[in-house]
Amino acid sequence: MLELKNIGVNFSGRDILKEVSITFHPGEIIGLVAPNGTGKSTLMNVIMNYLRPNSGKVLFNNELEYTSKKNEVKIHQLVSMMPDQSDLYNHLSGKQHLKIYSSMWNSNPELIERTIEDLGMASYVNKKTGTYSLGMRQRLCFAMQIVSDTQIMLMDEVMNGLDPTQVEIISQILVKKKAEGKTIIIASHLLENLEKYANRIFFVKNGKLDLIEDIYKDLGINGNLVIRVKEGTPELKEKLSQDFPELNIQLLSNSVTLIDFPKDDDGKLERISAFLSDHHEQEFSVGKMTLVDLYSKYYH
Amino acid sequence: MRAYFKFELIHFMTNKKNIAIYVILLFFACFYAIKIAPSFDPIEKVDKDEIEARFLTREDFLNNVVLDENTYPLTRFAAAIYPEWNEYDKQRLDALEQNDMKKYAESTFKWYEYSDSMIFRNGKGLLYYNPRYYTAGNLYATEDGHYAYMYSASRYKGYSEGNSDLSINVFEERTALQTLQRMLHGYLPLILLVSCILFTSDIVLKDKRNPTLIKGFPLSIWRRLLVKGGVALIGSILTIIPLLVGFIIIAIQSGVGDFQLPVPIFSYETRAFTSISMGSYLFQNALLILFWFLLLISMLLLVSIILRNEFANLVVGCIVVFAEFYYYVRGLGFVKDIQWYPSSYVQVGQILSGYREYLNNSTTLTLEYGLLVMSGYTVICLLITFIICNQRWFKLL
C-alpha cells in the first residue's frame, strides 16, 4: 500500500503539488491525467524520492518512509518507475536490458521469456536497442518494469509511440498485473484506454488530485448524461442558449458542444433534436459524458 | 550487489573509450617491443672491443712507463691504479673469450666496484665515468655515473652469486623481465596511472546519460560507488593484458629472464646497494601501483560526487599524478617532507629501487611510506565519500 500524506512541492514560488493526501491500494490501477507540466511526473518523482517534497511524506506498507538511505533502498525494492525510452543503452540488446532489471530486483528469471512472448518482442529482443523504433523501445521499457516485478509500478506515458494493437496488449498485461495485486500508477493521455481498465482516474489541477467521479458530481451534470454535438461553434451555443435558457450548454476546447440532458424531458429532447437538425448539426448523440469531454471541460 | 557489479562490468567493457584505451596500450606495447626495445642501447653494455682497447692502452702504458724521481705525479697515480684495474679487464676479456658468463659477472662486479672507488673517491677531475653520462646541461653527471657504477657492481655481484642462467642479454638488461623492470623505472607507472584516471573519470558521471534507467535501482549510493570503484580497479589491472603482448614479443626476441635475477636496491641511509630478486621487485611494484589505483579511484569517486564533471576528474587526477614535475628539485627531500605527498611516489620503480632516495637525499621515500601515504589518503577519500553518500539530501543523479 502506498500512502501520500500532505505532499507539497513548490518550484520558484509556484505550487506544483498542494497538500496531496491519498492512498493507493494493492490490486489497483490508478490513472493520472493532466496537461503537460501540471505535476504528474513530479508526483511520481516524489513517490520515488527523486524529488524531496517541501512538505509531507510518502508511506509504504504503513511502515516505510524515506527517512534514511537504508530505507530508500528497501522502498526501491517495492516500487519502480518505468525508464524513459531515450535512456536505453543503444549498444546493449533488449534482452540484456531485461536481464539487468530482473537481476537488480532479483525477480523470477522466467518472467523475462514470458514478458518477451506476451509483448511479441522475440523477433528483435536480441538486437541492439540502437536499431529499435520508438514503439519497440517503449515496449522494452514497459517490459523492463514488468520483469522487475515490484509491488508498486509507476508508468509515465507508457503508451507513447505504440500502435493500437500494442496499446491493447499492454493494457491486457496491466490488467493481469492488477489481478496479481500490483499497484500500478499510470500517467497517460490515452484517456479512452485509461478509462477502460483504471480503477480510479485523477485529474491533476492546481496542485491537487481530483477524482473524476467527484468532478462529475461537482459539475452537477445530470447523471453524467449529456447531448454531445460533435462539431460545435460559438454561434450554435449562442442560439441553443437563447432557445433553451434552462439548459447548461458548454462549448469545449475540442469543439464539442455539451448540452446537459434535460431532467424533465416532456418533449424537450425532441425539440433539441429538431433544433440541431434545423441547424445542420446531424452528428450528435446522447449518452454518458466521455473522459475526453470531461478533460476538455475540466481544463478549459 | 553482484548483479550491479555485472551490470557495471558489462558497461565498462563495452565502453568505446575504455576499448580505445586498451587498443592504444596494445599498440604502444607492440611498438615498444618491436621498434624501441631492440634498439635499446645501454650505457653499461658488454662491449668486448671497448674493454680490449682500454686494456691494451693501459697495458702498453704499464709496460713502458718509467717510474723515477722525475715522474709526474699523475703518471705515478696511473701506474699505481691501472694494474688492478687492468687485471679485472683481463679477466673480463678472458671470460668473454671462454664464454664463461659467471666469471664475467664476477670480474665485472669487481671492475665496477674498483672503477667507482677510483673515479668517485680518488679521481675527481682526473678520472671519469662513461662519457655518455656527461651530457650537455647535466650538472649531476658524476653522481649519475657513481649511481650507475654502484648499481652495476651490485647487479653483477648478484649475477655471480646467483643461480640464474646468464647471457649477454641478461647483462645488458634486455630480457623481457628486465625490460619490464626498466620500464617500471621509467614511464610505465605513469602510463598505468593515467589509464586508471581515464577509466575512472566517467564511471560515475556516465550515468547522467541514462538517469531514469538507473536511478531507481534498489542499491545504496555508497554501494554503487564501491562497485564502480571495484570495476575501475579491475579495468585498471586488466591493462596488463595488452602490455603482456609486448612482453611476449620481447621474451621471444631476448628471452624471458629469470624471477631470481638480482635487482639492486639503494639505501640512502647506508649509501649502499643490496639486492632483491626480480620476483620480489615486481611484486612490490604491483603492490604500490595497486595502492596508487586505489587512491586515484577513491579520489575520483569523491570528486565525481562533489564536482560532477568529467573534465574536473581528469584535471584533479592529472594534478595528483604529475604534481611532482612541478616541485621536484634534486635533493629536495633533504629540506622538505616530500614523503607525505602521494605524487612523490609516482615513479614507482624508482621508489622501490631506491633511486628516488638517492635523487632526493631522503631516507623516507620507501615502499613502506608509499603504502602508508596511499592507504591514508585512500581511507580519507572513502570516508568523506561515505559521509556525503549517507546524507539524506544527497542524490547521485
Residue of A46, A50, A67, A77 to mutate for B, most B C-beta atoms under 10 A = A50
Q: What chain A residue is nearest to B210 in terms of C-alpha separation?
A: A87
Indicate if B147 and B52 belong to the same structural domain. Answer: yes
pLDDT at B284 > cutoff 90: yes
pLDDT at A222: 52
User: Which of A77, A80, A104 faces B4 most closely, judged by CB atoms?
Assistant: A104
Residue A228 has pLDDT above 90, yes or no: no
Q: Per residue in B252-266, pLDDT tens?
A: 999 999 999 999 999
Q: Quick: pLDDT tens for B100-125.
A: 999 999 999 999 999 999 999 887 78
pLDDT of residue B41: 92
Contacts with A74 from chain B: Cβ below 8 Å: 218
Are B153 and B98 contained in the same domain?
Answer: yes
Instruction: Let me know whether B306 and B200 are in one domain.
Output: yes
Distance CA A175, CA A182 (A): 10
Instruction: Decide if pLDDT at A223 tops 70.
Output: no
- The verdict on B3 touching A (C-beta cutoff 8 Å) is yes
pLDDT at A169: 92
DSSP result, B22-75: HHHHHHHHHHIIIIIGGG---SS---HHHHHHHHHHHHHHHHH---STTS-HHH
Same domain, B31 and B54: no
Q: In angstroms, what separates the C-alpha of A53 from chain B's closest C-alpha? A: 11
d(CA B212, CA B231): 22
- Would an 8 Å CB–CB cutoff place A246 in contact with chain B? no
d(CA B182, CA B190): 13
Looking at residue A248, its pLDDT comes to 78
Q: Residue B211 and residue A87: Cβ atoms within 8 Å?
A: yes
Kindly report, residue by residue over B124-176, the tens digit of the pLDDT.
788 999 999 999 888 899 999 999 999 999 999 999 999 999 999 999 999 99
Sheet holding A208-211, edge to edge: A79-81, A152-156, A183-187, A28-33, A200-205, A208-211
CA–CA gap between residue B266 and residue B361 (Å, rounded): 12
The sign of the torsion formed by the CA atoms of B348, B350, B353, B357 equals negative
- At CB < 8 A and 24+ separation, what contacts does A17-24 make? A17/A42, A17/A43, A17/A46, A17/A53, A17/A207, A18/A206, A18/A207, A18/A208, A19/A55, A19/A56, A19/A207, A19/A208, A20/A56, A20/A207, A20/A208, A20/A209, A21/A56, A22/A202, A22/A209, A24/A152, A24/A183, A24/A185
Nearest to A83 among B3, B213, B220 (CB): B213
A52–B393 C-beta distance less than 8 A: yes
Same domain, residue pair B203 and B271? yes
* B97 inside domain: yes
Q: How far is B229 from chain A (nearest CA, A)?
A: 18
CB within 8 Å: A81 and B14: no
For the segment B225-254, the average pLDDT, to the nearest whole number, is: 96
Angle between helices A234-243 and A268-278 (to 10 degrees): 140
For residue B305, the distance in angstroms to the closest alpha carbon of chain A comes to: 16
Same domain membership, residue B181 and residue B164: no
Q: Which pLDDT band, with edges at 50, 70 and 90, does A221 fall under?
A: low
Give CA–CA dist B233/B4, Å, rounded.
Answer: 15
**Which of B149, B171, B193 is the C-terminal boundary of a domain?**
B171
As its CATH architecture, domain A2-85+150-215 has 3-Layer(aba) Sandwich (3.40)
Count of CB atoms situated within 10 Å of the CB of A184? 23
Q: Which residue carries 515490484 as its cell?
A: A150
Using a CB-CB distance cutoff of 8 angstroms, which residues of chain B are in contact with residue A138? Answer: none
Q: Which of B151, B178, B184, B140 lies closest to B346, judged by CA?
A: B184
User: Does one domain contain both B206 and B137?
Assistant: no
A105-109, A113-117, B66-70, B268-272: the lowest-pLDDT one? B66-70
Work out the minimum CA distance from A225 to partner chain B, whole angstroms.
42
pLDDT band at A27 (very low <50, low <70, confident <90, very high): very high
Q: How far apart are CA B297 and CA B313, in angstroms?
A: 10
Listed range (A55-69, B121-135, B351-365) with the worst mean pLDDT: B121-135
Q: CA–CA separation, B134 vs B113, rounded Å? A: 20
Q: Do residue B183 and residue B305 come from a single domain?
A: yes
Given B108, B139, B171, which residue is the final one in a domain?
B171
Please give the pLDDT value at position A264: 62
**Residue B300 pLDDT more than 60?**
yes
CB B256 within 8 A of CB B177: yes
Q: Are residues B126 and B212 in the same domain?
A: no
How far apart, in whole angstroms, are the C-alpha atoms of residue A210 and residue B177? 75
Indicate whether B284 belongs to any domain. Answer: yes
Choose the closest CB to A73 out of B14, B215, B218: B218
What's the confidence (pLDDT) of residue B68? 87
Q: What's the whole-number mean pLDDT along residues B356-385?
A: 94
Taking only the tens place, the pLDDT of each residue in A243-289 is 887 777 878 777 788 787 766 666 777 777 878 777 776 677 887 77
Residues of chain B with C-beta less than 8 angstroms from the C-beta of A79: 216
Q: What is the pLDDT of residue B396?
A: 86
Share of chain B above pLDDT 90, in %: 86
Picking from A66, A91, A105, the nearest residue to B218 by CB comes out as A105
Please tell me the predicted confidence (pLDDT) of residue B348: 96
Do B363 and B229 share a structural domain? yes
Q: Average pLDDT of B21-27? A: 97
B256: part of which helix (H) or strand (E)?
Answer: none
A50 touches chain B (CB under 8 A): yes
Per-residue pLDDT, A266: 67
Q: A43-53: b or e for each residue (b if 16 or more CB lie within 10 Å)?
A: bbbbbbbbbeb
**For A86, nearest residue in chain B (alpha carbons):** B210
Q: pTM, whole model, 2 decimals?
A: 0.88
Residues of B (207-226) whose Cβ lies below 8 Å from A: 209-213, 215-222
Domain that holds residue B123: 48-171
Question: What DSSP state is assigned to residue B132?
Answer: G
Determine the residue of chain A that is closest to B215 in CA distance.
Answer: A50
Q: Is the ipTM of this complex over 0.90?
A: no
Q: What are the tens digits of pLDDT across the range B83-97?
A: 999 999 999 999 999
Query: Would you tell me which residues 52-111 of chain A have a C-beta closer than 8 angstroms to some C-beta of chain B?
Result: 52, 66-70, 72-74, 76-77, 79-84, 87-89, 91-92, 96, 100, 103-106
DSSP tag of B162: S
CA dihedral over A235, A240, A241, A242, signed as positive or negative: positive
| Type and span of the H or E element at B258 | none
Q: Do A81 and B10 touch (CB under 8 A)?
A: no
Average pLDDT of every residue of chain A:
88
CB atoms within 10 A of CB A180: 10
Domain annotation covers residue B394 = no
Residues 6+ apart with CB under 8 A from B153: B109, B112, B113, B116, B273
Q: Which pairs with CB-CB distance under 8 Å and at least 24 residues apart come from B383-390?
A: B384/B302, B385/B222, B385/B225, B385/B298, B385/B301, B385/B302, B385/B305, B386/B222, B388/B302, B388/B305, B388/B306, B389/A69, B389/B220, B389/B221, B389/B222, B389/B225, B389/B305, B390/A69, B390/B222
Q: What CATH architecture does domain A221-298 belong to?
A: 2-Layer Sandwich (3.30)
How far apart CA B354 and CA B374 sit, in angstroms, is: 18
Domain count, chain B: 2
Task: Tell me: pLDDT of B44 over 60.
Answer: yes
Same domain, B19 and B144: no
Min CA distance, B7 vs chain A (Å)?
7
Out of A67, A100, A105, closest to residue B7 by CB:
A100
Domain ranges for chain A: 2-85+150-215, 221-298
CA distance to A229, A243, A252, A266, B89, per residue, from A246 (Å) = 18, 9, 19, 14, 127
**Higher pLDDT, residue B126 or B62:** B62
B321 found inside a domain: yes
Using the beta-carbon criterion (under 8 Å), do A92 and B14 form an inter-chain contact? yes
DSSP B314-348: HHHHHHHHHTHHHH--TTGGGTS-GGGSGGGG-SH
The predicted pLDDT at position B373 comes to: 96
Chains A–B, number of C-beta pairs less than 8 Å apart: 63
Q: Mean pLDDT score of chain B, rounded to an integer?
A: 94
Same domain, residue pair B98 and B237: no
In a domain, B397, yes or no: no
Nearest CA of chain B to the CA of A235: how many Å? 48
Q: What percent of chain A has pLDDT over 90?
A: 54
Place of cell 635475477: B261
Q: Is the confidence at residue A105, as pLDDT, over 60?
A: yes
Is residue A78 pLDDT above 70, yes or no? yes
Whether B108 and B156 have beta carbons less than 8 Å apart is answered as yes
What's the gap in Å between the CA of A77 and the closest CA on chain B?
A: 5
